[in-house]
Structure 1
């Protein structure tokens, strides 16, 4: 059976967020890590993701939202592990030349977003009206990470505010990640 590790963003997803619905309604989905509250500390999130991936030899499909996508990119730049693929949903854009302010509140966020191809298949979900990234910035991430780009339309940040509910298009995209693997590797 395929493992699905849901990598939360910076904040705690609300009860009606699609990620909470997926974990609640599907026993094969689990948090990596359980959604903590702010602040987002990249090193802690990457370590928790590594622990979750390493906990089982069965390859996992990662399902990341927002800053969780950055967690996945950082993890992939520092570790190897049994990952079959990743769905990267509306990652916030950080300029490659951005340097965190050591006295600011984002210094615990992330110092550098890796811009190298991910070592596994990935689909990046882009929105046409996301407040945290332009469509062109999503395209840049997809190009740099070697991700397939999925244009979700004008869906904001694909969070509780957008009212997408269980987000059936996302579930279809996740299933497409598992279908791309030869049956003997499933």
Structure 2
């Protein structure tokens, strides 16, 4: 593979790590899943959300192929990525973490150590599940670049997303040609 300017590129898997529910058919993740190069992790996505089970499903998907991966997580899927990174290693190049929910420590022990790969956390100014300050704290703890996505609610079908071109550009920045 090579780019338009002749540089060699390597293949990359883009793994979609959903949140706690099944994304609606109008959700940007479903739009991306219909494209070549995007794979659900787990396949198929769906409830119920159990962090340990989702981390294991992500481990199985990552370990199934040694092709480098970019993880694209939404909502509780961001917690799955942090949980996987705290316990496992694998060919992960980077992660896009979109609108993680804030979970109080008394409800769940969310892994907060730095991720061992480049990451961007995209947060909304109007997310009902996480304030901008809470999102910035996650980004700082995980060592993620912070991206202000604007007033986009929880960045899901219920708040009007469909396509998410800014997210596609963020995946490109992470190396997901």
How does the TM-score come out when normalised to structure 2? 0.91
Q: Which of these residues, 126, 140, 147, is aligned with residue 129 of structure 1?
A: 126
**Structure 1 counterpart of 2:106:** 99
What's the secondary structure of 2:57's corresponding residue? Answer: helix
Q: Following superposition, which runs of at least 4 residues in structure 1 exceed 3 angstroms of deviation? A: none
Spell out, residue by residue over 1:17-50, the C-alpha distance to the aligned partner (whole angstroms, 9 max, x if none): 00000011x2100000024432211111000000
**Aligned partners of 1:5 and 1:141: how far apart in 2?**
21
How does the TM-score come out when normalised to structure 1? 0.86
Q: Which of these residues, 163, 167, 170, is aligned with residue 166 of structure 1?
A: 163
| Corresponding position: 1:140 with 2:137 | yes
**Aligned partners of 2:70 and 2:166: how far apart in 1?**
16
| Corresponding position: 1:154 with 2:151 | yes
| Corresponding position: 1:65 with 2:74 | yes
**Aligned partners of 1:10 and 1:129: how far apart in 2?**
20
1:67–1:92 Cα contact (<8 Å) kept: yes
**Structure 1 counterpart of 2:97:** 88
CA 74–136 in structure 1, closer or farther in 2 if over 3 Å, else same: same
Query: How many Å apart are 1:65 and its aligned residue?
Result: 0.2
Unpaired runs of 5+ residues, structure 1, are: 101-110, 180-185
Any residues of structure 2 matched to 1:31-50 within 5 Å, and which? 31-50=40-59
Q: Matched residue pairs, number?
A: 167
* Deviates further, 147-156 or 38-47: 38-47
**Aligned partners of 2:47 and 2:152: how far apart in 1?**
24
Unpaired runs of 5+ residues, structure 2, are: 1-10
When the two chains are superposed, the root-mean-square deviation of aligned CA atoms in Å is 1.3
1:74–1:113 Cα contact (<8 Å) kept: yes
